[in-house]
Amino acid sequence: MRIDTALFLLFLGVIAVVQAMMPGRGRVVALLCASLIFYAVSSVSYLILLLGLCGLNYWAALSLSQNLDQRRRTWVFTGTVLVNLAVLIFFKYAADVITQGMLRWNGHAPAAEAGFAVPLGISYFTFQMLACVTDAYRQTWRIDHGFTNFVLFGLFFPQISSGPIPRAGPLLPQLVGGDLPVVEDRLEGVRLIAFGFFKKYVVANRINEYVTDVFKDQFGTGTLAALIGCCLNALQIYADFSGYVDIAIGSALFFGIRLAPNFDRPFLSTSVTEFWRRWHMTLSFWLRDYLYLPLLIRIRILGKSGVVLAIIITFAVCGIWHGLTWTFLLFGIAQGLALSAEILTKSWRTKRLKRLPENVVRWSGRFYTLGFFALSQVLFRAANVPQALWIYGRLIHLNFSGGLAQLFAARPFFFALDCVAIGSWVGVAYFHRRATSRSTPWFVFLCGLLIIFLGRLGSAHFIYAKF
Amino acid sequence: MKWKGWILALMAFAAICILADLAFTYGIIFRTPTSDIGRINHLYHEHGDEIPIFGSSKAHGNYSPDAMGLNAFNYGFDGISYEVTDVLLQIELAKSKTTPIIIELQHNDLAADLGDQSRCVPLMFDARIRQLLKRFHAMEWRYYLPGIRYFGYYDWYLKDYMSERMQLTHNITKGYKSELHQLPFSQARLDDYVSKRLQITSGYFPNEDQNRRLIGHITEHPERLFFLVYSPYHPSYFAHFQNGEQLKLFDEKLKALPNVVLIDWSQMHFPDEFFLDTLHLRHEAAMEFSRKMGDKIREVLRERSGEATVEKSKGK
């Protein structure tokens, strides 16, 4: 079930009614059933797989929370991590590689013909489980809830498809509380859902058409079109992903559960380092806590080189996590290099920038960060390296010839509507920040009208759903 | 919770949706005669002696009624399969007309496509359109809700309306669309299309059900003369053409029908400069093709009327 559909809203409504009719513990069971149904709609067999993994990780977390000897703890921890990673790697990469290999070898792949697919939210689920087991191993968190609660934590339906990646510490106690949500939380949830739908349908889907035309050279992409295309591509990914996250967080809040925020106005960042603290925050913090820091501790004797190496490896893994392609690897390495350059030049920059007015420093920082991110997102979007290089080539070889359609790589009418959509995003975001419980119906009314009259259907699911 | 605000907002939302639906349906969509829906609307209301031209984008882009010198109207639509043409044909054949009908035939209709659904939504009053959407599993609950049914299509309707009034991008005459600012011919671009074409399978992959329906329409309406046409393809299209023999058999079957004139100009020689891609002609080529097609149709009609006179005199 896609969470950007009317069916999902109906599903939310039904669960809310059922939950309201249940007594304390029954509400938790209602949420668990809803999560199981939500996943089963996608695939029953994968639901069984994920339940099995929940069982394994629950057992491991429970064992690690007890006073076992260190050797046995290490075995349990290593074994569980390896099983989780094996499942993730198999479904995310190996299955695809095997299928492609079989298709090339004999033009026949039973898995492909059977509609073999990656289990819904397997990456996010794995990250979640690895965090639990690692925290239990480090003894920074201990499990003191039952298995059904743990399953609800693992499969909680608003966040299972694309995060945010929750940590057991803050989320589990909320899930087992069983209290009915307060009206203010429900209304805040509704506002977030409406805003998420607006971002997806009005901004992301609309911009997607423009960016697709630029990348496909539909109208003869010139320099200006390539530049606008790069910027809009970054905006689209943000609108699409943050739209999904808003719907997910809003849906959880509708049941009184606060998920961790995933974005904190990243385009206001003044450096790439700050950007990654504001963009896909739950993944960034996960990578920091469970990959970067352990790696850094192991290679700390290398000094600054160790830091750089740890950053580049972390971001290379982050890139590869998106997909086993050169473009994603290069995207990750580019982020790592930018962060490393910022760390290495920090004291030098601080000394020189002190002389400039604060506003100039702030805005030039934002410009640099957004520019870098937009350029690197070309790698994220491009189907392959030659396509990315082709876009970069368009930016370098200045060409401003042609009519309006060639100049903007679009029909002027649709380009104007894209601008209206982005402008309305600024307005809706402003209204969203100031909306109260009292103004919620009118906020939903505004989003609804904009979606109906300015929205685009789009055939694509959320971009991050495929990761 | 304060319900008053919600009720007011919902009522305002419903009122705006209904008003917008009315305004768009009657003020914009049906007031754009050159749009796709405008052309379908023309088909509903035309009961004179116009010759309809049906087919997909090949029909839309290749047949200019003016260049053909015929009182014809182009009902070709981009991205559609015979399934949509079949519905348009049903609408046409329900009339008491005797004019010929021109249909651009497609070799491969396996990838049956409904095309742009925005063409169907304002015409939901017609059971045949509803049936068509259901056949493609494209019927959605929102298509019954005023205002909401045009979600995602508003800008397209508005664009058609504005394009017609401002005539900035293209010119539509009797259903034929010509781009005003066509990109100059590029051999590199065409070569790219050709190399892509050579990587995919072209051929005749019959859809027996569709063939049966087409032949059914033809035999049930002996009063109408059907010109079934294959317009030119780029030679690369035939490089790896499959099931050519089967296609010949089907063509023979069509030719055997007394009210069918099959014109196979699919391999008519046109230089590379005449092609937009491996399937579609550029404007100037479409003009030349249309002129030739007009001459051919007039010639056939003259012959047929001559035959009819001879038959009549024999009868006397």
HEC letters along A118-131: CCCCHHHHHHHHHH
Per-residue confidence at B316, pLDDT binned at 50, 70, 90? very low
Average pLDDT, chain B: 87
Nearest to B63 by CA among B251, B201, B227, B205: B227
**Residue found by looking up tokens 């790069």 in the block:** A230
Q: How many domains does chain A have?
A: 2
Nearest to B9 among A403, A441, A455 (CB): A441
Q: Work out the number of other CB atoms within 10 angstroms of the CB of residue A263.
A: 18
Chain B residues in contact with A449 by the CB 8 A cut-off are: 13, 16
CA Rg, chain B, in Å?
Answer: 22
Residue A238 has pLDDT above 90, yes or no: yes
For residue A330, pLDDT beyond 50: yes
ipTM of the complex in this document: 0.81
Q: Has residue B160 got a pLDDT over 60?
A: yes
Least confident range from A201-215, A448-462, B138-152: namely A448-462
At residue B27, the pLDDT reads 92
- In order of A117, A215, A321, A383, A397, the CA distances from A390 in angstroms are 31, 9, 25, 11, 10
Q: Tell me the pLDDT tens digit for each residue of B120-144.
A: 899 988 999 999 899 888 888 889 9
Q: Which range marks the domain in which residue B96 is found?
A: 3-315
Do A297 and A438 lie in one domain? The reply is: yes
Q: What is the pLDDT of residue B188?
A: 86
Q: What is the pLDDT of residue B311?
A: 61
Task: Determine phi and psi for B230, rounding to 5 degrees.
Answer: -110, 110
| Chain position carrying tokens 């032949």 | B215
How many alpha carbons lie under 13 Å from residue A203 in its C-beta half-sphere? 28
Grouping H, G, I as helix, E, B as strand and the rest as coil, residue B262 is strand
Closest of A67, A52, A76 to residue A147, by C-alpha: A52
Q: Which of residues 218-257 of A touch B (CB under 8 A)?
A: 220
When pLDDT is averaged across residues A214-239 and rounded to a whole number, the result is: 85
Helix or strand run (H / E) with residue B74: strand B72-76
Nearest to A228 by CA among A243, A239, A213: A213
A320 lies in some domain: yes
Partners of B178 in the β-ladder: B171
Whole-model pTM? 0.85
3-class secondary structure, B229: strand
- With a cut of 90, say whether residue A307 has pLDDT above it: yes
What is d(CA A260, CA A245) in angstroms, rounded to the nearest whole number?
Answer: 10
DSSP lists the bridge partners of residue A263 as none
The answer to whether the CB of A381 falls within 8 A of the CB of A211 is yes
Q: B167: Cβ–Cβ under 8 A, 6 or more apart, which residues?
A: B180
What is the per-residue pLDDT for B166? 78
Nearest-5° angle of CA A207, CA A209, CA A211? 70
Let me know if residue A1 belongs to a domain.
no
Residue A241: which domain range?
185-466
- Chosen domain end from A180, A211, A236: A180
Dig out the tokens for A163 from the structure: 């995060």
The answer to whether residues A346 and A457 belong to one domain is yes
Which pLDDT belongs to residue A109? 56
Q: Are residues A432 and A345 in the same domain?
A: yes
> Residue B9 is nearest to which of A6, A445, A456, comparing CB atoms?
A445
Q: Are strands B226-230 and B241-242 parallel, antiparallel or unpaired?
A: unpaired
Mean pLDDT across A159-175: 89
Q: How does DSSP assign A437-456, residue by residue?
A: TTTHHHHHHHHHHHHHHH--
pLDDT above 60: residue A114 = no
d(CA A384, CA A325): 8
Tell me the count of A-B CB pairs closer than 8 A.
Answer: 51
Average pLDDT rounded to a whole number, residues A97-117: 63
Range name among A233-242, B59-68, B300-309 with the lowest pLDDT average: B300-309
DSSP state of B52: E
Q: Report the pLDDT averaged over residues B256-284.
A: 91
Cβ of A448 within 8 Å of Cβ of B13? The answer is yes
We report the CATH number of the domain holding residue B245 as 3.40.50.1110
Contacts of A93 (CB under 8 A, 6+ apart): A324
For B95-103, what is the mean pLDDT? 93
Looking at the complex, report in whole angstroms how far the Cα of residue A384 sits from the nearest Cα belonging to chain B.
17
Whether A459 and A324 map to the same domain: the answer is: yes
Question: Are the C-beta atoms of B127 and B87 separated by less than 8 Å?
Answer: no
Higher pLDDT, A57 or B210: A57
> Inter-chain contact A455–B9, Cβ cutoff 8 Å?
no
Residue B162: what pLDDT? 86
pLDDT reported for residue B6: 92
CA–CA dist A31, A43 (Å, integer): 18
Residue A403 pLDDT grade (very low, low, confident, very high; cuts 50, 70, 90):
low
* Adjacent-strand bridge partners of B185: none
Task: Examine residue A409 and state whether it is found in any structural domain, yes or no.
Answer: yes
- In angstroms, the separation between the Cα of residue A449 and the nearest Cα of chain B is 7
Q: How confident is the model at residue A92 (pLDDT cuts 50, 70, 90)?
A: confident
Cα–Cα distance, B139 to B133 (Å, whole number) = 5
- In whole angstroms, what is the distance from residue B295 CA to residue B301 CA? 10
pLDDT at B111 over 60: no
A235 pLDDT above the threshold of 70: yes
Q: Could you tell me if A181 lies within 8 Å of chain B, comparing CB atoms?
A: no
- Cβ contact, residue pair A452, B12, below 8 Å: no
Residue A196 and residue A64 share a domain:
no
> Average pLDDT for residues B159-165, to the nearest whole number?
84
Residues A244 and A116 in one domain: no
Q: Is B220 exposed, middle or buried (0-12, 13-18, 19+ CB in 10 A)?
A: exposed
Task: Give yes or no for a contact between A176 and A149, defined as CB atoms under 8 angstroms apart.
Answer: yes
Rama region for B295: left / alpha / beta (φ>0; ψ in -120 to 50; rest): alpha
Residue A139 Rama label (left phi>0; alpha psi -120 to 50; beta): left
Buried-state track B247-285, b at ≥16 Cβ within 10 A, e below 16: beebbeebeeeeebbbbebbeeebeeebbbbbbbbbbeb
Q: How many structural domains comprise chain B?
A: 1
Q: Whose CA is closest to A229, among A200, A209, A205?
A: A209
CB of A402 within 8 Å of a chain B CB? The answer is no
Check CB contact under 8 Å for A414 and B159.
Answer: yes
Instruction: Write the CB contacts of A110 (distance below 8 Å, at least 6 apart in sequence).
Output: A102
CA distance A226 to chain B (A): 19
Residue A146: pLDDT above 60?
Answer: yes
According to DSSP, the β-strands at B51-55 and B72-76 are parallel
Percent of chain A with pLDDT over 90: 60
Look at residues A148, A165, A180 and tell me which one is the last residue of a structural domain.
A180
Please answer yes or no on whether B154 and A441 come within 8 Å at the CB atom.
no
pLDDT at residue B171, as a whole number? 72
pLDDT tens readout for residues A271-288: 999 999 999 999 999 999
CB pair distance less than 8 Å for A453 and B152: no
Question: Of the candidates A131, A162, A180, which is a domain's last residue?
Answer: A180
Give the Cα separation of B79 and B65 in Å (integer): 21
Q: DSSP character for B267? A: T
| Coil/strand/helix, residue B115 | coil
What's the pLDDT score for residue B119? 85
Indicate if A225 and A135 belong to the same structural domain: no
What's the angle, vertex CA B176, arms to CA B206 and CA A454, rounded to 5?
90
Band of residue B170 on the pLDDT scale cut at 50, 70, 90: low
Same domain as A235, residue A117:
no
B239: helix, strand or coil: coil
**CB of A410 within 8 A of CB of A210?**
yes
Residue A265 tokens, joined: 């106005």
Amino acid at B57: S
Residue among B278, B207, B268 at smallest CA distance from B240: B278
CB B268 within 8 A of CB B232: yes
Radius of gyration of chain A (CA): 23
What's the whole-number mean pLDDT along residues A368-393?
92
The per-residue pLDDT for A215 is 85
Q: SS3 of B257, please? A: coil
Q: What is the mean pLDDT of residues B267-282?
A: 89
Chain B residues within 8 A of A413 when measuring between CB atoms: 155, 158-159, 162
What's the whole-number mean pLDDT along residues A257-278?
A: 94
What pLDDT shows up at residue A410? 61
Asked whether residue A270 is assigned to any structural domain, the reply reads yes
Q: Which residue of A has its CA nearest to B16?
A: A449
> What average pLDDT does range A319-348 have in this prediction?
92
Q: What is the pLDDT of residue A66?
A: 83
> Which of A184-193, B27-36, B247-256 is predicted least confidently?
B27-36
Mean pLDDT of chain A: 89
Highest mean pLDDT: which range of A114-118, A346-350, B23-27: B23-27
Start-to-end C-alpha separation, chain B? 89
CA distance A3 to A6: 8
| String of DSSP letters for A65-94 | HS---HHHHHHHHHHHHHHHHHHHHIIIII
